[in-house]
């Protein structure tokens, strides 16, 4: 064998060695990971995600998972014959829809993520925004302008909540060195009267990342990142440029709450927010521990 022929394992060792500065950068830092419903449809991918979260924990990172479940909610609503519509990427939520939203998010989705992480050797604990006063919300409002009269009209979204106060004491308790748990949070909050609300999972993750002073907010979704009008990936966006991208239609649908969340998070102290492809295996590790990164970073 010549001197230049790699010996088995050398490639892995080199990759690990190159990761050293990144491991140091994220040591003891909090990373909030939003795990979107579209990124969890494949069983093998879900298991790989769980393993990566456990690996992060072993590498000294403090991962906090906030999950979605939009497609899974849609599937149960469909089976029950309940119609559902979205406004600006938010599901209009009446009483019957809220029932299904909480059933799906706090039930099978939350528990399957918890079980997958535990199976991979972690100690995940499932919560929702309603536990331990984690996420108080207010009723979300949106307005639209009538194109002819230019008069503003209020859109009623029903039981859609916007985070108003986040109390992270339960998360701090779970993640300190003595305990080492991994919180897995369903985005169901409640208001001052104890009424439950459906919170967009990106919005919930952003509010939690802000309250924790996270180093990174990673939003895992089903596209490579944010694309421009020509369909090219935008590697970096300034938070201040986001309103214009929404106004000129470059981004639409579910990408709107994602980018609004990213902009709000970085303006409120989160080190950076990244929109990345949850369908790509080990997307989390590539983003955090390689020089290539992944997706679109909002700074
Ligand atoms: N400029 C854009 N770049 C990338 N995706 C976009 C853009 N504008 C709209 N989208 C849409 O946003 C979607 C991601 O939002 P969403 O479906 O809510 O994801 P998730 O369920 O992961 O939260 C993409 O699948 C894409 O259809
Ligand atoms: C208000 C609102 O839209 N809530 C979302 C909550 C789940 C979610 O955000 O799931 P994804 O991240 O998988 O899209 C919904 O009902 O679909």
pLDDT of residue 4: 66
Give the global pTM.
0.94
| 19 occurs within a structural domain | no
| 282 occurs within a structural domain | yes
Pick the closest to residue 88 from 246, 225, 296, 276 (CA basis): 246
| 3 occurs within a structural domain | no
Helices (H), the chain: 10-18, 20-25, 43-58, 70-79, 95-104, 110-119, 169-175, 201-212, 242-247, 255-267, 283-289
Decide: 234 and 258 in contact? Cβ < 8 Å.
Answer: no
- Closest ligand, as measured to the CA of 157: 2
pLDDT of residue 227: 97
| 7 occurs within a structural domain | no
Ligand 2 contacts CB of residue 204 (under 6 A)? no
| 169 occurs within a structural domain | yes
Angle between helices 43-58 and 110-119 (to 10 degrees): 60
Q: For residue 132, report the distance from its CA to the centre of ligand 1, in Å.
A: 32
- Structural domain range at position 140: 27-298
Q: How far apart are CA 147 and CA 128, in angstroms?
A: 39
Q: For residue 67, report the distance from its CA to the centre of ligand 1, in Å.
A: 16
pLDDT of residue 88: 82
Ligand 2 contacts CB of residue 160 (under 6 A)? yes
| 62 occurs within a structural domain | yes
In our burial notation (b when 16+ CB lie closer than 10 A, e otherwise), range 118-152 reads bebebebbbbbbbbeebbbbeebeeeeeeeeeeee
The CA-CA-CA angle for residues 196, 199, 203, to 5°, reads: 150
Number of domains composing the chain: 1
Give the pLDDT of the chain (299 residues) as one tens digit per residue.
555 676 777 777 888 888 898 899 999 999 999 999 988 878 999 999 999 999 999 999 999 999 999 999 999 999 999 999 999 889 999 999 999 999 999 999 999 999 999 999 999 999 999 999 999 999 998 888 777 888 888 888 999 999 999 999 999 999 987 788 999 999 999 999 999 999 999 999 999 999 999 999 999 999 999 999 999 999 999 999 999 999 999 999 889 989 999 999 999 999 999 999 999 989 999 999 987 777 999 99
Which ligand 2 atom is nearest residue 90's CA? 3
pLDDT of residue 202: 95
- Closest ligand, as measured to the CA of 200: 2
Q: For residue 83, report the distance from its CA to the centre of ligand 1, in Å.
A: 21
| 76 occurs within a structural domain | yes
Joined together, the tokens standing for residue 11 give 């490639």
Q: Is 31 helix (H, G, I), strand (E, B) or coil?
A: strand
Which ligand 1 atom is nearest residue 36's CA? 22
Q: What CATH number is given to the structural domain containing 189?
A: 3.40.1160.10
ipTM over 0.90: yes
The DSSP bridge partners found for residue 141 are 156
Q: For residue 226, report the distance from its CA to the centre of ligand 1, in Å.
A: 8
Pick the closest to residue 263 from 235, 240, 246, 279 (CA basis): 240
Ligand 1 contacts CB of residue 70 (under 6 A)? yes
Ligand 2 contacts CB of residue 36 (under 6 A)? yes
| 100 occurs within a structural domain | yes
Q: In this structure, which residue's CA is closest to atom 10 in ligand 2?
A: 68
The CA-CA-CA angle for residues 69, 100, 143, to 5°, reads: 75
């Amino acid at each position: 064998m010549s001197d230049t022929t790699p010996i088995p394992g050398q490639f892995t060792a080199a990759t690990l060695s190159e990761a050293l500065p990144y491991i140091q950068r994220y040591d003891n830092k909090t990373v909030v990971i939003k795990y979107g419903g579209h990124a969890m449809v494949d069983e093998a991918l879900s298991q790989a995600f769980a393993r990566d979260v456990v690996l992060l924990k072993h590498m000294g990172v403090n991962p906090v998972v906030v999950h979605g479940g939009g497609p899974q909610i849609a599937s149960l609503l469909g089976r029950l014959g309940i119609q559902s519509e979205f406004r600006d990427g938010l599901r209009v939520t009446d009483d019957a829809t809220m029932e299904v939203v909480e059933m799906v998010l706090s039930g099978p989705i939350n528990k399957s993520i918890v079980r997958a992480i535990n199976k991979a050797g972690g100690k995940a604990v499932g919560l929702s925004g309603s536990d331990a006063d984690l996420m108080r919300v207010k009723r979300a409002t949106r307005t639209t302008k009538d194109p002819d009269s230019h008069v503003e009209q209020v859109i009623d979204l029903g039981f859609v909540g916007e985070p108003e106060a986040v109390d992270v004491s339960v998360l701090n308790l779970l993640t300190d060195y003595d305990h080492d748990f991994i919180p897995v949070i369903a985005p169901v909050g409640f208001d001052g009267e104890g009424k439950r609300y459906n919170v967009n999972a990106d919005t919930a993750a952003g509010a939690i990342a802000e309250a924790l002073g996270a180093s990174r907010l990673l939003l895992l979704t089903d596209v490579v990142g944010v694309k421009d009008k020509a369909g090219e990936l935008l590697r970096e966006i300034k938070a201040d440029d986001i309103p214009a991208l929404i106004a000129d239609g470059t981004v639409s649908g579910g990408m709107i709450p994602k980018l609004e969340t990213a902009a709000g998070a970085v303006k409120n102290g989160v080190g950076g927010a990244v929109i990345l492809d949850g369908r790509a295996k080990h997307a989390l590790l590539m983003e955090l521990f390689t020089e290539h990164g992944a997706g679109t970073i909002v700074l």
